[in-house]
Amino acid sequence: MKLAVFSICTLIFSLFSNGSCQNITSRPSTINIGAIFTFNSSIGEAANVAINAAVEDINSDPNILNGSKLVLTTRNSNCSGFLGLFEALQLMEAKTVAIVGPQSSAIAHIISHVSDELQVPLVSFGATDPTISPIQFPYFIRTTQSDFYQMAAVASIVNLYQWKLVTVVYTDDEYGRNGIAALDDKLAEKKCKISYRARLPPVAGQDDILDALVKVNLMESRVIVVHVNSYGLEIFSVAQRLEMIGNGYVWIATDWLMSILDLRAPLESETMNSLQGVIALRQHTADSSSKRGLISRWGTLTKKYKNGVAINANTYGLYAYDSVWTIARALERFFKKGGKIAFSRESRFKDDKDGNLHIEAMRVFDQGKLLLDEIKNINFTGITGQIMFNIDGELIHPSYDILNIVGTGWRTIGFWSNYSGLSVVPPEKLYDKPANFTFEQKLYDVIWPGGTVERPRGWVFPGSGELKIGVPDRVSFLEFVSYDEVTGTFKGYCVDVFLKAIELLPYPVPYKFVPFGDGKKNPNYTDLCNKVGSSFFDAAIGDIVITKNRTKIVDFTQPYIDSGLVVLAPVKRQKSNAWTFLQPFTLEMWCVIGVSFIVVGIVVWILEHRINEDFRGPPKKQIATILWFSFSTLFFAHRENTVSTLGRAILLIWLFVVLIIQSSYTASLTSILTVQQLSSPIQGIESLAASNDPIGYQTGSFSENYMVEEMGISQDRLVNLTSPKQYLDALEAGPSNGGVAAIVDEMAYVELFLHSHCQFQVVGSDFTRTGWGFAFPKDSPLAIDMSTAILTLSENGDLQKIHDKWLIRSAACSSEAQTDIEADRLHFDSFKGLFLLCGIACVIALLVYLCIMLREYIRYTPPDEQDPSGQASARSGCSLKSFLSFVDDRKQETKRKSMKQQKELNNDTVGSES
C-alpha cells in the first residue's frame, strides 16, 4: 500500500514538473531579469555601468529579496528595431520576469507589443516618447521623464524671452516626431508656434545636416530647437562652419546634449567652441548622499564594467540604476503578497509546420499583472529622487536643469518643474510651498552665442535684411500721408506714428519706404495689403483700415487711431417759431407737470380746509383757490397761507420740485434760443440707404465695398470723389444738380474736412467701429513688437502729441459750435425721482390726516347719533355722509357743538337722578 501511494505521488510530481506548466517555488534562489540598450551609445554606456552596479548592490543587500539573487542578462539592440525585437524575444524565452529598457523610443514601440502579450513588465530608463501610453501599452513603465514635460520646459523658455517663432531640427523617427509634436502643443499654449521643421534621417550624414541647416538659415526665425540623438554634436559643428553660432542666434538643445557632455567631459576645445551660448536641458536629480556615494565610486565601477574605459555618470545612468531597484523592491512586495514566478504556454503561440521560429517556446508570465501593479505602486527615494508614479503612469515631480554652455563647461541658469515653472531655486525646495504659491518665472542671465548678454531678437528680416515698406501715394488728405517726389520722402500723421514706434523697439530695424500708387488718385488699400501678403512688400504703413477681409491676408498692429464710417451731409439753420417756448419739455413732461400742479393743490386744500379761512367758501371759490394756489407756486407768488404742519411740509417739498423744473426749463430754453440749430433731411445711414439719392465715397476707401456688400446699396448710386474740393462741390450741388446727397467716409477724414466747412455735419452715429493699423505678413513677430510700441506711445502721451501736430487746425467755425441736429429736450425720465418723492409725501400726508380726522370724529360725535346709554352707535359711526360733514365743518364750529352736546348731556343726567 505504501509503495502504491509513493508511486502515485512520484507520478504527479513528474507530471507537474515536465508538463505544460512549470512552477517554481515562491522564493526562488535566482530571478532572471533582462536589459536591452545600445551598448556604444551615450545613454547605453552609462546605463551598462549603472545597471550592473545596481544588480551587484541589490544582491549584496541582505535586507531585500531575502537571499534571492538577481541574474542579469544584457542585450545590445544596436539602435535597431528589428534587433531589439529579436533580443527581447530571446530574453523572454529565458523566463525573464522584467526587462530594464529599452533606451530607444522607437524600439519601445515595437517590443511593448511583445511585453503586453507575455505579461513581462518593461521598465524603461530612456524611452522619452510622450506617445507611449500605459493605456496602449499597460506593461510599459517609464522610470525617466517624458518629453511631454521637457517640451513644456522648452516652451516656457521661449515664452520667457518673448519669442513667437521657433525653428526645430529633429530626427525623423518616433522619438523626434512625437517630441516635436508635444513641443508644438506646448508652444501653442504660450501663443507661439513652430515656423519651420528641419527633418533629419535616423542615421544622418554631414551632407544631410548641411542641407538642413542651409534651409534653416534662410528662415525668418533664429530660435532653433535641436531634438536629435547621437549625431547631435555634428549639427553644431556644421552650424559653426555656416557661421550660425553667433550674434542673433538662439540654440536650445534637449537633454540628449547633456547626456553626451556629462558622459564625455571634458570634451575637445573644438567641440566646445561650437557649443558656446547654447541653452541645454538636463533631467533634474536632487542632490543626496546616496547620489554622491554612487558618483564617488563611479570610476571604480567603470573599470569593472567598462574594461577601464573612463566615462562619467549622466542622468540616464542614474535613472537606469533606480530602474533596477524599482524592480527589486516590487519583487519583494510581490513575494510578500504570495506571488509566484511561473510561466505557462499560450495556445495562440504556434509555429507553422515548416517554420523555424519556435514561437511555441514563448511563455506567459502567469503573475506578471501582480508584479506590474507592485511596480506602479512603488514609492521610495532613489538616487534620482522620489520614485513614485502618478495616475498617468509618469514619475511625479518632473523637472529639468536649465544650463548655459560657456567656455570649457557650463553653468546652471535655473530650473523648470511642472510645479513651479521656471525658477532659479531648485524644485525640491519649492515642493513644500502652498499650492497657490505664486512663482516668479525667471532665469539667471544667459551668455548667448557671440558672447553677448543682450537678449537676441530671435528672428531676422527676410531677403536682404532691409524691410521694403509700402506707403500709399495719396492725393487727398495729405495730413495723413504725403509723398514728395522731388526728395523721395514721406511725411504725415501715419508716418510720424510709425517712426516714433520703431524707435521704441529694442533692436534696430533697417527699412526703406516704397510709394504705392500712381500719384494721380488714392490707391486701393486692399491691393496694398495683398502686396504684403504675397511678400512683395515686407510691411505697409499709412491710413490702412483694419477690416475682416484684410486680416485674412495680413497681420495688423494695435490700432493707433479709432475710426469708423459716418454720413456727412449738408445741414441748414433751423429758425425759431411762435411755439419755441414749448420745446424745452416733451409733451409727456408738460402733461405730468400740469397734473402735478392740480394734485398738489387738491392735497393742500384738503389739509387746510378745516382750519384755514383762505381755503373755505362757496364751491366755485374753493376750486378757483385750488387752481390759483397750485399754479402760483410756479412763480413763488401764492398769497394763501398754510397753517397746518402737514400742509407746510407738502408745500416745502413741492416748492423744491418747482425750483428744479423752473431752473431746467430756463437753461434749456436759453440754449434753444441762443445756439444755432441745424437740420438735415438725412437722419443717418438707414434713411440714406432707403432713398434713391447718389452717395459719395473717397477713392481707395473700403466704404465702397461696405455699402455694396454689407448695406446692399446699388453701385450705380455711388459717386467716386478724390479730394476735399470734390467733397465740397458735390455736397453743395446736391443730388438734383449732379452732386450727392451725402458722403460716406471714415471719421478721421470727415473731422479734418469739417474743420473748415461748417455748413456740413455728421448725421446719425458712426455705423462701423474700426481703426487704422500697420500691416505685416502673417505671423510676423514685428507686428507684435510694433503693437507693444504703439501702446507705449498711447500711454506716454506721444500719440496724442502727433495727433495734435497734424490733425488739429484753427477751427473756422468754433464760434458756431457744431451741435446735434435737434437740441436735447428734457424728458420725464430725468425728473421721475422728484415727482415720485413729491407723490409719496402727498400720500403719507393724506393718510396721517385721515387718521387724525377719524380720531376726532369718534370723539366729537353729534348727540342725535348716540344710543340711550350715551355711546355712539356702530352704524352711525361708520356713516360716510356724517364723516364728510364733520370734515367739511370748521374746526371751531365742531368744538362749539361738542361743548353744547356735553352740557346737555350733563343736565339730562342730573334730572334723572332727582
pTM of the model: 0.70
Common-topology check for domains 30-143+290-349+357-388 and 580-674:
no
Q: At the topology level of CATH, where does 580-674 sit?
A: Helix Hairpins (1.10.287)
Query: Angle at the Cα of 14 (from 10 to 19), degrees rounded to 5?
Result: 155
Q: In one letter, which amino acid is 276?
A: Q
pLDDT of amino acid 797: 92
CATH number assigned to the domain covering 679-769: 3.40.190.10
Confidence (pLDDT) at 905: 53
Q: Decide yes or no: CATH 3.40.50.2300 for domain 147-286+398-429.
A: yes
Domain edges within the chain = 30-143+290-349+357-388, 147-286+398-429, 467-563+772-807, 580-674, 679-769
Tell which residue, 757, 678, 693, has the closest CA to residue 723. Answer: 757
Cα–Cα distance measured from residue 540 to residue 482, given in angstroms and rounded to the nearest whole number? 14
- The rounded distance, in Å, linking the Cα atoms of 615 and 625 is 7
- Say if CB 141 and CB 376 are below 8 A apart: yes
Coil, helix or strand for 329?
helix
Strands 385-388 and 379-382, sheet pairing: antiparallel
The dihedral over CA atoms of 642, 643, 648, 650, expressed in degrees to the nearest 10, equals -70
| Residue given cell 432713398 in the structure block | 691
Distance CA 301, CA 296 (A): 10
Given 3.40.190.10, 1.10.3470.10, 2.30.130.10, 3.40.50.12160, which CATH number is that of 467-563+772-807? Answer: 3.40.190.10
Q: Which residues contact 517 (CB under 8 A, 6 or more apart)?
A: 472, 473, 474, 523
Residue 358's pLDDT is 60
Which DSSP symbol is given to 437?
Answer: -
* Cα distances (angstroms) measured from residue 358 to each of 118, 352, 355, 502: 15, 9, 7, 74
Instruction: Work out whether the CA dihedral 145, 146, 149, 152 comes out positive or negative.
Output: positive
State residue 412 phi and psi, 5-degree precision.
Answer: -80, 125
How many residues would you count in the chain? 914
Beta-strand pair 165-171/193-200: parallel
Burial class (CB in 10 A: 0-12, 13-18, 19+), 313: buried
**How are beta strands 21-23 and 30-37 bridged, if at all?**
unpaired
Helix (H, G, I), strand (E, B) or coil at 199: strand
d(CA 377, CA 393): 10
What is the phi/psi pair of residue 566, to 5°?
A: -135, 165
pLDDT at 700: 82
By the 8 A CB rule, do 824 and 585 touch? no
Under CATH, domain 30-143+290-349+357-388 is a member of which superfamily? Response regulator (3.40.50.2300)
Mean pLDDT, contiguous 10-residue spans, the chain (914 residues):
36 36 62 94 92 95 90 91 87 91 91 92 94 91 95 96 94 94 95 94 92 92 93 94 93 96 91 95 94 92 81 94 97 93 78 58 88 95 94 92 95 94 91 70 94 90 79 92 91 95 89 92 92 93 92 94 88 64 76 81 75 67 71 65 74 79 78 58 80 89 87 90 90 88 90 84 81 92 91 93 81 42 61 81 82 74 48 50 66 57 55 49
Residue 634: the pLDDT is: 66
Burial class of residue 804, CB neighbours in 10 A (0-12, 13-18, 19+): exposed
